[in-house]
Structure 1
């Protein structure tokens, strides 16, 4: 039997401890035609020495600087020839058969460009993990959530989402993607640096006519970071900036015309709430994000020339307001917001 080639590419930046803890599970994977590659984003710790001494069979790609998640993978994957890429965070523990199920699913349907496994919490393995859970969704205003995770509420995994389903986005923590599709889309948008670049990529893939899936029979455990720490205002800035840019790039103009003012209003409600709570740094993060979005627009940036598609016509979109459902109607679980078959 011929197996398509798979390159597992782990982007590392000062992650020596995670490599030591989780690489053994990756090397234990039984898929026959795999390569394990560590792309190093100019780490300043002893990651490389550790790899050379303990995992000499891992291939190394040395980048000349820290390009971030998006740019780092773009640069690394220029050097990797394979049928499939699996972009795997260094803080992920994989389980037996995790690769086989995703590849089998995608081989059965050549229109699937990308998929993700079920992502459970490494620290509490009965619960979904924040970064992707059981497949990413989005509401019509561009707010991301997932099967098993709404904002900071992660559900217990009782098998309620154990079906392979089309989703809007697949998490970058464990993203299986056809190499040809990654390069056809010119990879991630490097301007994003980190946060939401995988949602933007999946959006563009679906505008091109491909589909994105969650393969729930494949399971991995992610350490992750959960909700954004209030003290990490760089993350706050990137999330607000990148979400607006992602919407500007991908929404048809008629939708952009009325949705963006509303999105900006919602951003400023958050900013002024932060100010009232004496969280000045979050206020400044939103302000800087909006300033940089304006600069991005003035520089003439735009998306690839792709077919225009209304967001509601893409699978994995909740045709309503996640903000309203969560904060006003107090619906905390995916199944309460998105009814079965919806």
Structure 2
């Protein structure tokens, strides 16, 4: 069994593979590298076979999205650690070493995220993961280094190793035994927020999620589904609600979901005022899909849920009303309240 498998999920991404595979090969000494192909119709598979014969290929039966795509591929990959890496990630020298050392030295740590910077603006954190993620009481995710549309410059303010609530799926390390224990990603999500759901389920089982700043990667972001796409809006809003149904503590479950749906409605009105009708419709479709799936998701609930899953009560309030745009401001305000 391999120590670590670097697994790159691909769908019609031959240009991304051409651009980013060389860095993965150059800097991933000791790892076995896989391309998990979601039934691409371009020349991705032929390109990898011809130009990178040492890379192993797992061919999935269809384009099943991020969640099922990885679930299907990882059934055929045996390694102690899975490094799930987007096809638009550039890795750096020794990016794997600090991750492996953390796993070796900290047996309760099950999931790790590296520092994720913006490939197009390398002095800044990247939207999808930054320096690790948290959520508020109503399930809104945010990152150290990125809250809503405010992305911070990397000035070393998050050069640490700390516990997280969720790690970004853009570059996501997980122990194989934990991945299989949890049943992998929730395939109904298709894409978006499945990594937050998996981390939440891991936390409910007592596992630890961490950030390690000694490992750095650069992410293009939105290479498959661009920011501002109504389909992305639909998946984010629907999947967030489904995740809450599965993982919230029983006490306050329906209040939190109801209030979250009210906030979604406000977001829909905001989109409408901005002339973004497609996004308003996407939120309505997300809620309708949620209604259809909610009963089946109630059955997915486990016997135990952690009570203190959130870092702040409302990131929306802090960001838009209190005008706190950076994680450090929010963290300092929390510490002052505790003191």
Shorter-chain-normalised TM-score: which range? over 0.9
Aligned position for 2:84: 87
Q: Does structure 1 residue 261 correspond to structure 2 residue 258?
A: yes
Alpha-carbon contact 1:84-1:178 (below 8 Å) kept: yes
Once the two structures are superposed, the pairs formed by residues 1-342 of structure 1 within 5 Å of their partners are 5-32=3-30, 34-225=31-222, 229-230=227-228, 232-299=229-296, 302-303=299-300, 305-310=302-307, 312=308, 314=309, 317-339=310-332, 342=335
Instruction: Mark the CA change 1:304 to 1:77 in structure 2 (over 3 Å): closer, same or farther.
Output: farther
Deviates more, 1:244-253 or 1:300-309: 300-309
Q: Which runs of 5+ in 2 are unaligned?
A: none
Q: Which runs of 5+ in 1 are unaligned?
A: none
Instruction: Mark the CA change 1:70 to 1:306 in structure 2 (over 3 Å): closer, same or farther.
Output: farther
TM-score (normalised: structure 1): 0.94
Q: Give the 3-state SS of the residue equivalent to 1:165 in structure 2.
A: strand
Alpha-carbon contact 1:228-1:236 (below 8 Å) kept: no
The number of equivalent residue pairs is 334
Q: Give the 3-state SS of the residue equivalent to 1:213 in structure 2.
A: strand
Alpha-carbon contact 1:204-1:306 (below 8 Å) kept: no
CA–CA distance in structure 1, aligned partners of residues 176 and 22 of structure 2: 25
Task: Compute the RMSD of aligned alpha carbons.
Answer: 1.7
Alpha-carbon contact 2:114-2:211 (below 8 Å) kept: yes
Deviation (angstroms), 1:106? 1.4
Alpha-carbon contact 2:200-2:247 (below 8 Å) kept: yes
